[in-house]
């Protein structure tokens, strides 16, 4: 397939415990970008639950970053269930071409090993699945959509080489 990434060697990274995210549990605060005001967790999460879009970044190898993602996702899942809003989890590292595998995993048609193999997790993303398992399991058990957000390598290479104006109408 055109979306198939070239084979690559597994990155030389230390082994990660299956419960690495859960083991990093701890408190956190929110901080406003505008003005830098610190917010207590409940105020922060209440405010996030009213937003139209929330992007939670990470340091890929930081279990604390992934714990914060998991905590925010869980809190937003509870709050959106009460306020009638829609919540989904987006995975920026997964190409859209792998969406069908995520959907099958979410509907319990695939187990974790099958998801990793069929969605080519290690080819698309070099970081250990243990960092992402809690978020995906939470989404799976709460019935939240999970969206593969990344563009195909063909598309990103085309933009890099020719710019957006070099894309076909279908690619745009």
> Three-state DSSP class for 90?
strand
Would you place residue 28 in the very low, low, confident or very high pLDDT band (cuts 50, 70, 90)? confident
Tell me what the mean pLDDT of segment 24-46 comes to: 89
What was the pLDDT predicted at 82? 85
What was the pLDDT predicted at 117? 96
Residue 1 pLDDT > 70, yes or no?
no
Tell me what the mean pLDDT of segment 161-171 comes to: 86
What was the pLDDT predicted at 8? 52
Would you place residue 2 in the very low, low, confident or very high pLDDT band (cuts 50, 70, 90)? low
Contact 103, 94 (CB under 8 A): no
Tell me what the mean pLDDT of segment 23-46 comes to: 89
Average pLDDT value over all residues in the chain: 88
Interval 40-82: pLDDT, tens: 989 999 999 999 899 888 889 899 999 999 999 999 999 988 8
What was the pLDDT predicted at 140? 97
Interval 125-154: pLDDT, tens: 889 999 999 999 999 999 999 999 998 888
Residue 7 pLDDT > 60, yes or no?
no
The two three-digit tokens of residue 39, written as one number:
């917010």
CA angle 54, 113, 20 (to 5 degrees): 55
- Alpha helices by DSSP H, the chain: 41-48, 63-83, 99-106, 112-118, 121-124, 133-142, 153-162
Tell me what the mean pLDDT of segment 33-38 comes to: 92
Would you place residue 15 in the very low, low, confident or very high pLDDT band (cuts 50, 70, 90)? confident
């Amino acid at each position: 397939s055109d979306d198939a990434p070239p084979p690559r060697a597994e990155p030389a990274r230390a082994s990660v415990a299956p419960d690495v995210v859960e083991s990093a549990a701890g408190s956190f605060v929110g901080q406003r970008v505008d003005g830098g005001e610190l917010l207590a967790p409940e105020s922060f999460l209440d405010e996030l639950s009213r937003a139209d879009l929330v992007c939670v970044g990470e340091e890929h190898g930081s279990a604390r970053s992934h714990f914060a993602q998991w905590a925010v996702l869980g809190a937003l899942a509870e709050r959106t269930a009460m306020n009638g809003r829609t919540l989904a989890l987006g995975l920026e590292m997964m190409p859209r071409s792998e969406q069908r595998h995520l959907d099958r995993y979410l509907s319990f048609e695939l187990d974790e090993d099958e998801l990793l193999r069929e969605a080519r997790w290690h080819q698309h993303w070099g970081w250990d699945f243990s960092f992402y398992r809690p978020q995906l399991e939470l989404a799976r058990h709460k019935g939240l959509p999970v969206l593969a957000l990344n563009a195909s390598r063909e598309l990103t290479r085309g933009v890099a080489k020719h710019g957006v104006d070099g894309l076909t109408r279908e690619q745009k």
